[in-house]
Structure 1
């Protein structure tokens, strides 16, 4: 545990510049303000649901968040060479296109209507929506890893490592009181639990806890490709190009994927994303981040279930 705190301190000592961090914080604050003031994602971007423009608009949002953040880092660290790097454009392009397609993916809507003749459309849609990342994120990153990555080691932090698991477990434990307090807020209960009562258990002739468990496993899986892309591909992989500078731009983009969630969740993602990014860079593994991410997600589901009861 001491080694990881030392790694976090060393990262700050090497990468921290008051002007860079202040500018990045202002940029993130501007993005958050614009989104929540104008309801940018929910009102405008999502108005193009199930249309090709949906993914394109997400790409514009994510590319703006990420590339401006990279520009800030290259400007303050005097690294204009980054913009001439093919490796940078290849990695950032694959990441942005993959996640934008994931965010604007709508084929699962059609698949859900066809499976079981649409009799349990809502339930099937919720499950498939969480599983479609296998095609939209995991597969493209794996193909890039196998065919185009000039520095292959492990699959972007997917190799299990024990380093830091105690610290990650402690961080998860510290989140329990915060999740409990959040569960009393109206906007929290508007978003959670993400599982909704359907007739799927009656359709399959099983208890509802069975269909709820299947859904929650699908929901938990969806955080695996998120960690793989943001902490694995954009930090561990992109560190080949940006070094420690891979963390800060990832954090701002990571914040923007929370724009459809409560404001507090979007703001807290900046701090959580930064810590997880630094620790992923230190351990060269995303397993600790998976422990925290899935643990918090399921923790919020459980808290909301209890509140509804």
Structure 2
């Protein structure tokens, strides 16, 4: 834990400004209030599900969250030159367009119907929903890395590193009591487990644990492109433009992708995203974040399964 506090202290010494952090906190409170008071994402944006304009609304939400946060940073840090930086625009727009398409992607619905309509449709739909990030996030970032990144070194923190491994395992262990407590809350059980019995195992003639395992592996994969984009591309990659200032805009946008989840999860994503961002910037690797993120996700699934079954 000493390494964690050292990295946090070093980051705060170079990045913390009371007025900047206060303004970002007010912006986050405003976003959370608007979303959960109006039910913005679930009742408005998602009402366009399956329509071509659906990703456009996600782009509007995410771009507003991100660029207002960047403006706050440039204002308080006196860095208006960022808005004239071509690399900033190419990086940020690549990330925003990719994730907006990912959030509003619906082609897997028709593909699932064509492949296995009927009993296996729902199971295949949710598996492909978690795997479509290969096309919508990983591929665009890899193409940017190969052909547009002016200073490619590694694929945005994907190179395995042992630095901080014990720390990440400790942090994951500390989450176990919190997950256990959360599993007794009604709003948690309304969202988890994300796997639902679809009787697909009967269609394929296999035990239900097989289809459950396949789904959970697909579900776990979906956190890989999330870490790659938010901690890899938007922190490690964008730090070449914003330095340590890349973290604050990232956590505001990262909070926004949780707007469809319980409010406690959205709020906790702010602190978790900040911590993982600092550690990614320090280690230049996202592997620790992947360990924590997937470990927590599967931990919540297991806790919910134990409560319900």
Fold match (TM-score > 0.5):
yes
Matched, 1:26 2:26: yes
Q: Secondary structure at the match of 2:116?
A: helix
Q: Do the aligned residues in 2 keep the contact of 1:35 with 1:259 (CA within 8 Å)?
A: yes
Match of 2:81 in 1: 81
Aligned mates of 1:7, 1:306 — CA distance in 2: 36
Match of 1:307 in 2: 307
Match of 1:181 in 2: 181
Aligned mates of 2:215, 2:263 — CA distance in 1: 25
Structure 2 unaligned blocks of 5 or more: none
Q: Secondary structure at the match of 1:52?
A: coil
Matched, 1:91 2:91: yes
Matched, 1:159 2:159: yes
Q: CA deviation at 1:8?
A: 1.4
State the Cα deviation string for residues 207-248 of structure 1 (Å, max 9, x = none): 000000000000000000000000000000000000000000
Q: Secondary structure at the match of 1:109?
A: helix
Aligned mates of 1:164, 1:266 — CA distance in 2: 26
Match of 1:127 in 2: 127
Aligned mates of 2:244, 2:35 — CA distance in 1: 28
Q: CA deviation at 1:106?
A: 0.5
Q: CA deviation at 1:54?
A: 0.7
Aligned mates of 1:119, 1:39 — CA distance in 2: 32
Q: CA deviation at 1:78?
A: 0.2
Q: Do the aligned residues in 2 keep the contact of 1:112 with 1:118 (CA within 8 Å)?
A: no
Q: CA deviation at 1:199?
A: 1.3
Q: CA deviation at 1:119?
A: 3.5
Aligned mates of 1:44, 1:3 — CA distance in 2: 44
Q: Do the aligned residues in 2 keep the contact of 1:127 with 1:215 (CA within 8 Å)?
A: yes
Q: Do the aligned residues in 1 keep the contact of 2:7 with 2:279 (CA within 8 Å)?
A: yes
Q: Do the aligned residues in 1 keep the contact of 2:255 with 2:267 (CA within 8 Å)?
A: yes
**Normalising by the residue count of structure 1, what TM-score does the alignment of the two structures yield?**
0.99
Match of 1:195 in 2: 195
Aligned mates of 1:58, 1:165 — CA distance in 2: 35
Aligned mates of 1:308, 1:77 — CA distance in 2: 50
Aligned mates of 2:2, 2:34 — CA distance in 1: 39
Q: Do the aligned residues in 1 keep the contact of 2:119 with 2:198 (CA within 8 Å)?
A: no
State the Cα deviation string for residues 149-184 of structure 1 (Å, max 9, x = none): 001011000000000111111111111100111111
Q: CA deviation at 1:32?
A: 0.4
State the Cα deviation string for residues 96-125 of structure 1 (Å, max 9, x = none): 000000000000110110112443110000
Matched, 1:205 2:205: yes
Aligned mates of 1:204, 1:66 — CA distance in 2: 44
When the two chains are superposed, the root-mean-square deviation of aligned CA atoms in Å is 0.7
**Normalising by the residue count of structure 2, what TM-score does the alignment of the two structures yield?**
0.99
Aligned mates of 1:5, 1:82 — CA distance in 2: 30
Structure 1 unaligned blocks of 5 or more: none
Matched, 1:39 2:39: yes
Aligned mates of 2:161, 2:46 — CA distance in 1: 39
Q: Runs of at least 4 residues of structure 1 off by over 4 A?
A: none
Aligned mates of 1:37, 1:26 — CA distance in 2: 16
Matched, 1:286 2:286: yes
What pairs with 1:50-69 in structure 2 (closer than 5 Å)?
50-69=50-69
Count how many residue pairs are aligned between Structure 1 and Structure 2: 309
Matched, 1:219 2:219: yes
Q: Do the aligned residues in 1 keep the contact of 2:41 with 2:260 (CA within 8 Å)?
A: yes
